[in-house]
């Protein structure tokens, strides 16, 4: 997501580099921190759209996101 500053300069979102990549979000839910594994598929001014599982899209308020980590989990069979 690209927004403009008061000076008219363009500024990209901190989440833009993570779009389309498997991530683990550290999400604050009350006093609890919850890891949420998924892929960031969209973004608005206030929320991230995260695809979890196969086809479940969930909107998470950006204010609830404490950290974004690369999901390096590998399925070895």
Q: Domain extents for the chain?
A: 18-70
Q: Is the pLDDT of residue 71 over 80?
A: yes
CA–CA dist 38, 57 (Å, integer): 9
Binned at pLDDT 50, 70 and 90, residue 8 comes out as: low
CA–CA dist 50, 22 (Å, integer): 10
pLDDT, greater one: 48 or 12: 48
Do residues 61 and 70 touch, judged by C-beta distance below 8 A?
no
Tokens standing for residue 73: 């989990």
Fold of the 18-70 domain? SH3 type barrels. (2.30.30)
Predicted pLDDT at 15: 87
């Amino acid at each position: 997501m690209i927004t403009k500053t008061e000076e008219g300069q363009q500024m990209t979102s901190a989440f833009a580099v993570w779009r389309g990549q498997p991530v683990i979000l550290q999400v604050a839910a009350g006093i609890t921190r919850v890891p949420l594994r998924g892929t960031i598929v969209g973004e608005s001014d206030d929320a991230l759209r995260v695809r979890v599982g196969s086809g479940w899209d969930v909107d998470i308020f950006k204010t609830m996101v404490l950290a974004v980590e690369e999901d390096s989990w590998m399925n070895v069979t």
